[in-house]
Structure 1
Amino acid sequence: MESLTPEQLALLKTMLEQRLAALSSIEEPHPDAGELPVEDVETSPLDRATVRLLNDLSREAAGHHSAEMRQLRQALARIEDGSYGYCEDCGQPIGASRLLARPEARLCIDCQTRAERR
């Protein structure tokens, strides 16, 4: 596989920046902020269970949101330092088609497959 062309790299950088901007515009509470989206009020045990479930789901969504933003920032930092587009495990170029599908990818297909099998 060959390295990315400057045009491909510019397109991928734009894709990453647009996704990061879109995620930044969504107000998600920090998973540890202590602010719960659903307040627990004096209710029946079933209502309290529902409230706990909704709050747990909200915390999990906030965690995913934060993780995705972190991955996008790391990908943009790799573009700046010149390591973007190369597998972090084997050092080989990551295919352009993979990066177009997942611009934040850190591993080539082979290394990602091995990591998922572990």
Structure 2
Amino acid sequence: MASLDTGQLAQLHAALEAQLAALSRTDEPPADDGARDLPVPEIETSPADKATVRLLNDLALEAAGHHAARRQVLRHALARFDDGSYGLCEECGGDIGFSRLQACPEARLCIGCQTRLEKR
């Protein structure tokens, strides 16, 4: 693993676990009432109400997709603890600084490689 001590690794691991747990709590499945698993049931109402319901459902589905992607990123970061590569840049293999990992515990790239990636 990178040049992180065990206390720093424990702190970062706990932060990742807490973020994953928080996402899991917010993604509880809706009640099973046969409404095609939509957050807001589409019922026969005025056209304006239907548009609002569709918008709310689209936003909820988009948020669910974002949460699923975020969970995947967090799981990937936690898996890197197991294989010993946590804290190492996936691009250059150098250490990712502790301050960067504190700000973004799921960071995969060091600040230099991330900057180059964003400039492309």
TM-score range, shorter chain: 0.7 to 0.9
Q: Residue 86 of structure 1 contacts residue 94 of structure 1 at CA under 8 Å; is this kept in 2?
A: yes
Question: 3-state DSSP class of the match of 2:26?
Answer: coil
Deviation at 1:25, TM superposition (A): 2.0
| Alignment-derived partner of residue 24 in structure 1 | 24
**Cα deviation digits, residues 5-27 of structure 1 (max 9, x gap):** 12111111111112212222223
Residue 84 of structure 2 corresponds to residue 79 of structure 1: no
| Alignment-derived partner of residue 7 in structure 1 | 7
| Alignment-derived partner of residue 36 in structure 1 | 38
* Count of residue pairs brought into register by the alignment: 114
| Alignment-derived partner of residue 99 in structure 2 | 97
Percent identity at matched positions?
Answer: 64
**Cα deviation digits, residues 48-97 of structure 1 (max 9, x gap):** 11111101100111111111111111111101100000111111111100
Deviation at 1:117, TM superposition (A): 2.7
1:90 and 1:111 map into 2 onto residues whose CA distance is 7
Q: Residue 89 of structure 2 contacts residue 95 of structure 2 at CA under 8 Å; is this kept in 1?
A: yes
Q: CA RMSD in A?
A: 1.8
| Alignment-derived partner of residue 51 in structure 2 | 49
Deviates more, 1:51-60 or 1:13-22: 13-22
2:87 and 2:53 map into 1 onto residues whose CA distance is 43
Q: Residue 99 of structure 1 contacts residue 105 of structure 1 at CA under 8 Å; is this kept in 2?
A: yes
2:56 and 2:118 map into 1 onto residues whose CA distance is 30
Q: Residue 94 of structure 1 contacts residue 107 of structure 1 at CA under 8 Å; is this kept in 2?
A: yes
| Alignment-derived partner of residue 117 in structure 2 | 115
Which consecutive unaligned segments of at least 5 residues does structure 1 have? none
Q: Residue 87 of structure 2 contacts residue 96 of structure 2 at CA under 8 Å; is this kept in 1?
A: yes
